[in-house]
Amino acid sequence: MFKFFKKKKVEITHREEWLDTFEKMITLLRDNAHVAQADCVRQIHGALYRKDVSDFLKKLRGVDMWGGSGAVWEVGYFNSQGEEKEFKKLIIELVQLMKNDKISHGKANSVSHFFRKTSY
């Protein structure tokens, strides 16, 4: 009767692509002294690695990833423009993976759109 209240079960496809994207992000963040943000991505990666979908989704959609000042997406200083461009590319890839697996998040979509406009 109330099917619109039912949550659809999220199925993570291309798990290896997700893990690879997170690993690249962790390395870039760590190498550019964004330790707290690297730790946030490491926790998301760990939840996916453990196949804990509930924890993975909670962390992936969290304020530490997509919030304001200090969030992962908003880091602003990299050692080179090439590394900054690579990071933005990884965010865009991450949002595409989210779309592919029907994980919606308005802020993630707008960040990806913004990075596409300003990076290429």
For the whole model, what pTM was predicted? 0.89
pLDDT at position 4 over 80: no
Predicted local confidence at residue 118, as pLDDT? 83
N-terminal to C-terminal alpha carbon distance within the chain: 48
- 67 pLDDT band, cuts 50/70/90, is very high
Predicted local confidence at residue 105, as pLDDT? 87
**CA angle (7 as vertex; 51, 114 as ends), nearest 5:** 75
- Of the chain, the percentage scoring pLDDT greater than 70 comes to 92
**Residue ranges per domain, the chain?**
13-60+80-119
